[in-house]
Amino acid sequence: MPFTIDRLSLLADGVAHGPEGTVHVAMALPGELVEGTVENGRIAAPSILTPSPDRVKAPCPHYRACGGCLLQHASDAFVAGWKGQVVETALAGRGIAARVARVETSPEFSRRRATFSGRRTKKGTLVGFHARASDTVVEVPRCRILRPELLAVLPALNAMTAAGASRKGEIAFAVTLSEAGLEIAARGGKEMDPALFQTLAGLAEAHDFARLSWEAETVAARRPALQSFGAARVNPPPGAFLQATAAGEAALVEFVLDATRGAARIADLFAGCGTFALPLVATAEVHAVESEAEMLAALDRGWRQAQGLKRLTHEARDLFRRPLLPDEIDRFDAVVIDPPRAGAEAQVAEIAASSLRDLTYVSCNPVTFARDAERLVQAGFALADVIVVDQFRYSAHIELAARFRRT
């Protein structure tokens, strides 16, 4: 029986309504007429009877098998519109009417960090991304989202998998492009022994990696794996958070600088290694708060070595359990907040109770963002501006930046 797709789910499946209830349809777009076998409320391999005008031929040869991308069958304009709509719908569900002002999508071949999976097989090794809804590993030598430097490392990751994967286990290779070359943090491999260390160290040298770590052990630190944030250069701890693309980071930093212009004292909460704190400290005093002390130590070293910056203080603090309290918040002219997917419920409750007037919120989850936005609006803030910054093109992941003002 054919189904008509009404909308996309948050995981980018098509959603249709049949006599038995809601049906999720893989890789289908709104308005399309589809049919296929329904299993557990889902059509995994639909026939598209009437394609949407937004349907395009997926540009990547790995798209059918690889689970890394979910939306290559839709035009860029459709995906941008959908991501904006998801944010607007999440806000509307909380009683906030808002328009996403623009969507800044990072170009193809621009992702500078990715986690590859490596496994040993009967014939040798496989390194790539997981297949859709499966733990099978799919090789992705012609991936269109990653920077070429990340694809060039695949032979070395295969060699590391051959040397260091257990028979049944899987290695997760977190690969980051730094200014000094590639930084690789491997987890899930065999326990280190002298022979493995020698092989890995040899590979790090042969491939000129800036840094290679295996679980908590540093195998090679040939150069500091530097990242520039504003006027400072930071050497983040292995595998530390970094915005996924340089274009996405630039769009977020520009938004944050613009939204906080004129503030003399700024708190940067969930500060990481200083993506926002270090550009901000060019013109304002900044207090950076983050739970990972090692990230703050890297931020601090970067700040000390840079020239001409204003005062920066920092504090390792769990902001879920011990958010900044109203009297602490009131010391600042503006606050920037960039929490993980869970959002910042506890911190936002304290901000609501403070006298703060200017808040910039960077979020990687429209659902928790909308929940926190509702609390802010109840406390007298107005949502002044919201944009989507799409660093994860072709995926269902959505990031945004918003400015709240209280008059």
Ligand X SMILES: C[S@@+](CC[C@H](N)C(=O)[O-])C[C@H]1O[C@@H](n2cnc3c(N)ncnc32)[C@H](O)[C@@H]1O
Choice from 139, 292, 315, 374 touching ligand X (CB under 6 A): 292
The piece of 39-47, 68-76, 108-116, 284-292 that touches ligand X (CB under 6 A) is 284-292
CA 309 to chain centre: 28
C-alpha span between 19 and 279 (Å, rounded): 55
The piece of 120-128, 210-218, 268-276, 373-381 that touches ligand X (CB under 6 A) is 268-276
Does 276 interact with ligand X (rule: CB under 6 A)? yes
CB of 225 to ligand X, least distance (A): 15
Residue 364 among the catalytic residues:
yes
Residues 355-394 that bind ligand X (CB under 6 A): 364
* Joined tokens for residue 395: 């995926």
Residue 386 half-sphere exposure toward CB, CA atoms < 13 A: 25
197 vs 320, which CB is nearer to ligand X?
Answer: 320
108 vs 315, which CB is nearer to ligand X?
Answer: 315
Choice from 285, 290, 350, 390 touching ligand X (CB under 6 A): 290
5 vs 362, which CB is nearer to ligand X?
Answer: 362
Q: Which of 66, 69, 273, 364 is catalytic?
A: 364
Does 266 interact with ligand X (rule: CB under 6 A)? no
> 171 near 165, Cβ under 8 Å?
yes
Choice from 178, 275, 354, 368 touching ligand X (CB under 6 A): 275
106 vs 161, which CB is nearer to ligand X?
Answer: 106
Nearest partner of 387 among 278, 290, 234, 251, judged by Cα: 251
Q: Phi, psi (5° rounding) for residue 38?
A: -90, 120
Determine how many CB atoms are found less than 10 A away from the CB of residue 174: 17
205 vs 318, which CB is nearer to ligand X?
Answer: 318
CB of 277 to ligand X, least distance (A): 8
Residue of this chain nearest to ligand X (CB atom)? 272
Nearest partner of 217 among 235, 242, 191, 241, judged by Cα: 191
Map tokens 């994967």 to a residue.
165
Q: Please give the torsion angle defined by the CA atoms of residues 103, 401, 24 and 143, in that order, rounded to the nearest 10 degrees.
A: 60
Residues 293-312 that bind ligand X (CB under 6 A): 295
The piece of 57-65, 166-174, 269-277, 302-310 that touches ligand X (CB under 6 A) is 269-277
> 288 near 276, Cβ under 8 Å?
no
Size of the site for ligand X (CB under 6 A): 18
CB of 309 to ligand X, least distance (A): 17
Q: Phi, psi (5° rounding) for residue 404?
A: -115, 140
> 362 near 252, Cβ under 8 Å?
yes
Q: Is the dihedral of CA 61, 66, 71, 74 positive or negative?
A: positive
CA distances from 108 to 67, 80, 398 (A): 17, 14, 16
Map tokens 């899987």 to a residue.
170
> 33 near 16, Cβ under 8 Å?
no
The piece of 143-151, 185-193, 290-298, 349-357 that touches ligand X (CB under 6 A) is 290-298
Residues 333-362 that bind ligand X (CB under 6 A): 338-340
Does 271 interact with ligand X (rule: CB under 6 A)? yes
Choice from 82, 241, 392, 394 touching ligand X (CB under 6 A): 241
292 vs 374, which CB is nearer to ligand X?
Answer: 292
Does 205 interact with ligand X (rule: CB under 6 A)? no
Burial (0-12, 13-18, 19+ Cβ within 10 Å), 341: exposed
Residues with Cβ within 8 Å of residue 191, at least 6 apart in sequence:
none
136 vs 291, which CB is nearer to ligand X?
Answer: 291
DSSP at 178: E
178 bridge partner residues: 181
CB of 289 to ligand X, least distance (A): 7
CB of 253 to ligand X, least distance (A): 9
Cβ burial 86-115 (10 Å sphere, 16+ → b, else e): bbbebbeebebebebeebbbbeeebbbbbe
Choice from 6, 135, 205, 318 touching ligand X (CB under 6 A): 318
Does 243 interact with ligand X (rule: CB under 6 A)? yes
Residues 75-134 that bind ligand X (CB under 6 A): none
Residues designated catalytic: 364
Which residues would be at the binding site for ligand X (CB under 6 A)?
Answer: 241, 243, 270-272, 275-276, 290-292, 295, 318-320, 338-340, 364
